Structure 1
């Protein structure tokens, strides 16, 4: 589809911490990209690529450099794979990514503690124009990887669950509190729903995943979800956990739980996921294919080199999963550190290119539509 404009840590070296880039850490702290077995391009049952191939990807490499990034946990799994592949092809260039969450990643990038940030929601106009790292320029949002936000649940005896936006909003706002509530029964007439308390789990940290879920609830059920769509959780009640991995762990361990996280976390931990009733002929399950359909329907609403996308949360289109996020890489259009710029451009060109995008469905992410990917690669080539 043609898009329209409307005017844990991963890496071999240092960490992006509270004050900047640290030194080499040995044991503890990093999720090392090497030794993980992330070599092939086909997905395994744990959400990672298989080890079917040992051939290094064809990448236009920088000669040297160390690039630090931090942010979104949504892209943690694919960033681990990208870094491993890039470093195999492009030694001695080194890339490190610290999955501290979108909020912390944005803060680190804005103050110049990292070369790029990862965020599941675009940087605001105010922050984009006041980024310390972008001398003579401004920060821009580059969409890089998409994926569905899965609603995972742990309800004994129920392996197929349908919910709609209104019911989800009431569950996460503690207005529906048991699994045998009439609203849930109406959507699941054949299910044996237990009289079990609902334990809704949300993110404790500042999270772009939270922002995207709240944007969906506010957009699809505004009469039920009156809260702002930002990175802090606004629903009443429930329990909190750090990161997508923490929410997924809580859902796995507590019967009656429901939470939200990227599909790869549900696949890894074998968590049942909700099918969403959007008014389409069939309730939709989260998958790379149904998420890609949602991304293909977005519009580019950023200005200049900024490529912010906008979703239609009220869509009833067939095969379009409605709770989808885009992870953006935050970079400077001008004023990038000349010591890291060649490696930064080389790495991001790989992730946005055919080599980096084609493996995404195999690890439960959604690739960018080619019309968007082409724009992203063009902007990367113009970074200075």
Structure 2
């Protein structure tokens, strides 16, 4: 499977990047081993300091939940998460502004990001999945409470080729639905987005001809539709719009209707369990280090009950930091997120799919390598 990325540099636009941190950013330590063992159980309880991190806006709901849970266990710690988007998260991680970042796309060297991150960290950067979540196709169409969409139909809608709700292609997927003759208002992300990359990766894999836009983090020019900033912006635009459809992390879909997506002979709803199953049929990404758990999702799976449009979101960290406080806070927060307690809390409060036991343990083993250099 080929993974293509067209990443563009963006200005982070963070007003408070210099928030008072008693932690420093990733140090360019050259030692990947050594330093004190600062491991904690479920995030510890004796940590103190401020940790300003950010990245994927799809992670925002889960991060807000994890912050509450972690700070409850560690009342002397203050964590803030800035949902600047995956591109902004990677950019700020590479620059050293974020000691920990969330990204919906793993690091590659197609534009030099992986090498740059390794230079910042002084060794291979850590990339571990912190949750798996379906990317829901959200819609707001009067009188339509259930919507089935085959891959080609979905691709045609977002490529601007299917423009009416009662188009024959949509009717064929929904023979019993009362579809209006109204124009479709497709909503997409206007910012550089890992959610967009994962969504277009699916479209490019399963409906190449109908889509034609490639795999991109920035929406293709000329495809039309309404642009909105961040996951929350897409959800808001669809909710307030008329006859609108968009895509967003399912954990933030709220009370909007979500479409069932064609897989084989069935249409599958975007549940956490159905999304988590795709990791079982997906191969590891090529050329990864021993501290990376990146995978290439098998969007073309025909396995029954697997939801194919999935966001696998990663935490990006260094193996070593230039001071013990940074290492303690990053390691403690990551260990809380990946703990049974953190995974359960994220599922209950933000609707994300907990990692399978084997993935969870492997991620914890990798995070256990974090130390002060």
Q: Give the TM-score category using the shorter length.
A: 0.7 to 0.9
Distance in structure 1 (CA, Å) of the matches to 2:295 and 2:117: 21
Q: What CA distance in whole angstroms lies between the structure 2 residues aligned with 1:166 and 1:118?
A: 31
Distance 1:340 1:353 in 2: 20
Q: Compare relative contact order (CA 8 Å, sep 6+) and give the higher one, 1 or 2.
A: 2
Query: In the alignment, which residue of structure 1 is the partner of 2:257?
Result: 272
TM-score (norm 1): 0.82
Provide closer, same or farther for how the CA distance between residues 315 and 73 of structure 1 changes in structure 2, counting only shifts above 3 A: same
- In the alignment, is the contact (CA less than 8 A) between 1:151 and 1:261 conserved in 2? yes
Contact 2:105 2:197 in 1 (8 A): yes
Q: Pick one of 266, 271, 275 that aligns with 1:291.
A: 275
Once the two structures are TM-superposed, the CA of residue 64 in structure 1 deviates from its matched residue by 2.2
Which residue is equivalent to 2:186? Answer: 200
Distance 1:336 1:182, change over 3 A: farther
Residues 20 and 360 of structure 1: CA distance in aligned 2, closer, same or farther (over 3 Å): closer
- Separation of aligned partners in 2, 1:157 and 1:83: 39
**Aligned position for 2:153:** 167
Contact 1:134 1:333 in 2 (8 A): no
Match of 2:17 among 3, 17, 20: 20
> Once the two structures are superposed, what CA deviation does each residue of 1:171-230 show, in whole Å capped at 9, x if it has no partner?
001000000100000110111111000010000011110000000001111222233313
Paired residue total: 335
Root mean square deviation, CA, Å: 2.1
State the shift of 1:17 in Å. 2.6
1:317, distance to aligned residue in structure 2 (A): 1.0
Specify every segment of 5 or more residues in structure 2 that has no aligned partner in the other structure, as ranges: 1-11, 22-40
Report the 3-state secondary structure (helix = DSSP H, G, I; strand = E; otherwise coil) of the residue aligned with 1:344: helix
Instruction: Note the residue ranges of structure 1 that are not aligned, 5 or more in a row.
Output: 1-14, 25-56
Instruction: Give the Cα–Cα distance (whole angstroms) in 2 for the partners of residues 192 and 312 of structure 1.
Output: 33
Partner of 1:28: none
Distance 1:109 1:224, change over 3 A: same
Match of 2:351 in 1: 364
- Residue 94 of structure 1 pairs with residue 78 of structure 2: yes
Shift of 1:253: 1.2
Q: Find the counterpart in structure 2 of residue 237 from structure 1.
A: 224
Provide the C-alpha distance between the structure 1 equivalents of 2:16 and 2:51, rounded to a whole number of angstroms.
16
Q: What is residue 46 of structure 1 aligned with on the other side?
A: none
Counterpart secondary structure, 1:190: coil
